[in-house]
DNA sequence: GCTTGACCTTCCAGTTGATGGAAGGTTTAC
DNA sequence: GTAAACCTTCCATCAACTGGAAGGTCAAGC
């Protein structure tokens, strides 16, 4: 199949597939007589694997590791598990960060009248001291 | 004061301050006879405002709007409040996304032995169908 | 007067993970 | 024959910086 069909089946865009080939994340696709890339189901499965891994938060460097494991019949499942657990922890930390930011925003919004006047607790607070000058 | 002192007080790096000037987020700094940038407390306050706004999740485009409000004595506090509430909602959506990703990862981790063997539910799941081919 | 180190300057390149678009070749259907 | 829908490569762009090179300035100490 051609690249657009592979894209449809894998959940990646054609641009992204070419990009992944470009950065050697995947092997160069086979080519037809016309120079078009050709994909078999094995190739599409790899692309789909990448799409899924990206969806759950792995970056391309980590995807590379995961692909390495996927292809390695002598792998240890422990390695995959470690990657997943670390990524989950990372997401947890990021979520905490975003929550903290959100709670600051909520507090700011509460303290602001939000009317037609220029007096605004939000702007005052953002302008004011967050940490004292050390 | 010179740029490094302004950086220390505002919480931005010198690189970032120059960058903000470069993209016209802030007005060009005054210059001393030696060509060095010079900052007064008003300038530092603006830098600090930016640092705080970035910390709570505003992007530079939004920071530009916030700065506009900060400088405008005829502003309506409603505008600032709207920006804050929208940003909070945005963070909320992002948090939900990350949580969903995390929960997928947790499920994957649970289903994997995580031992020395090659059999791995994680890799199988990521490789397997997420959505049927339509 | 000279050196050393800590400043400062500009400019260019790289990061991440794509995406948009131009210019042009191919295929398919009518 | 021609139009639409593919495909190709290559180059530019996005956000928000950061790193580093090459070079000017300044203050302290000898």
Strand (E) or helix (H) holding B96: helix B77-111
Alpha-carbon dihedral of residues B53, B91, A98, B78, nearest 10 degrees?
40
Model confidence at A129, pLDDT cuts 50, 70, 90, reads low
**Which of A44, A68, A70, A84 would you mutate first to test chain B, the one with the most B CBs within 10 A?**
A84
Cα A17 from Cα A10, distance rounded (Å): 9
- Of A97-106, B45-54, B107-116, which range is least confident? B107-116
Contact B18, B3 (CB under 8 A): yes
Does residue B11 sit at the A interface (CB-CB below 8 Å)? yes
Tell me the two tokens of residue B66.
Answer: 């916030």
Contact B84, A109 (CB under 8 A): yes
Which DSSP symbol is given to B131?
S
Share of chain A above pLDDT 90, in %: 84
Average pLDDT, chain A: 91
Contact A133, B9 (CB under 8 A): yes
* B residues 92-111 lying closer than 8 A (beta carbon) to A: 92, 94-95, 98-99, 101-102, 104-106, 108-109
DSSP codes, B26-93: SPPPEE-TTS-EE--HHHHHHHHHHHHHHHTT--HHHHHHHHHHHH-TT--HHHHHHHHHHHHHHHHH
Q: Which of A52, A123, A134 is nearest to B9 (CA)?
A: A134
Inspect the interface and report whether the beta carbons of B76 and A133 lie closer than 8 Å: no
- Asked if residue B130 has pLDDT above 60, the reply is no
Instruction: Report how far apart the first and last C-alpha atoms of chain A are (Å, whole number).
Output: 63
Alpha helices in chain A (DSSP H): 3-10, 14-22, 41-55, 60-71, 77-111, 121-127
Model confidence at B46, pLDDT cuts 50, 70, 90, reads very high
* Residue pLDDT, tens place only, B84-128: 999 999 999 999 999 999 999 999 999 988 888 888 888 988 987
- Burial (CB count <10 Å: 0-12, 13-18, 19+), residue B119: exposed
Contact B72, A123 (CB under 8 A): no
Residue A38: phi and psi, rounded to 5, are -125, 140
For residue B128, the model assigns a pLDDT of: 78
Cα B119 from Cα B109, distance rounded (Å): 13
Inspect the interface and report whether the beta carbons of A126 and B49 lie closer than 8 Å: yes
Query: CB under 8 Å, gap of 24 or more: what pairs does A87-93 form?
Result: A87/A56, A87/A57, A87/A58, A87/A62, A87/B105, A88/B102, A88/B105, A88/B106, A88/B109, A90/A57, A91/A57, A91/B98, A91/B101, A91/B102, A91/B105, A92/B102
**Radius of gyration for the alpha carbons in chain B, expressed in angstroms and rounded:** 24
For residue B121, the model assigns a pLDDT of: 85
Query: Cα–chain-centroid distance for residue B126?
Result: 30
Model confidence at A78, pLDDT cuts 50, 70, 90, reads very high
Q: Which of B79, B78, B87 is nearest to B57 (CA)?
A: B87
For residue B62, the model assigns a pLDDT of: 95
Does residue B43 sit at the A interface (CB-CB below 8 Å)? no
Q: Which residues on A lie below 8 Å from B7 (Cβ)? A: none
Question: What average pLDDT does range A37-60 have in this prediction?
Answer: 95
């Amino acid at each position: 199949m051609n690249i657009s069909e592979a894209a449809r089946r894998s959940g990646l865009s054609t641009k992204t597939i070419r990009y992944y080939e470009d950065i050697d994340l995947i092997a160069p696709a086979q080519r037809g007589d016309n120079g078009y890339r050709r994909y078999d189901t094995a190739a599409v499965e790899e692309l789909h694997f990448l799409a899924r891994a990206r969806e759950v938060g792995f970056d391309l460097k980590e995807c590379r590791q995961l692909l390495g494991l996927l292809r390695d019949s002598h792998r240890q499942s422990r390695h995959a598990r470690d990657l997943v657990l670390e990524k989950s922890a990372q997401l947890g930390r990021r979520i905490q960060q975003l929550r903290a930011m959100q709670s600051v925003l909520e507090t700011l919004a509460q303290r602001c009248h939000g009317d037609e006047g220029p007096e605004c607790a939000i702007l005052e607070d953002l302008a004011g001291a967050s940490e004292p000058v050390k």
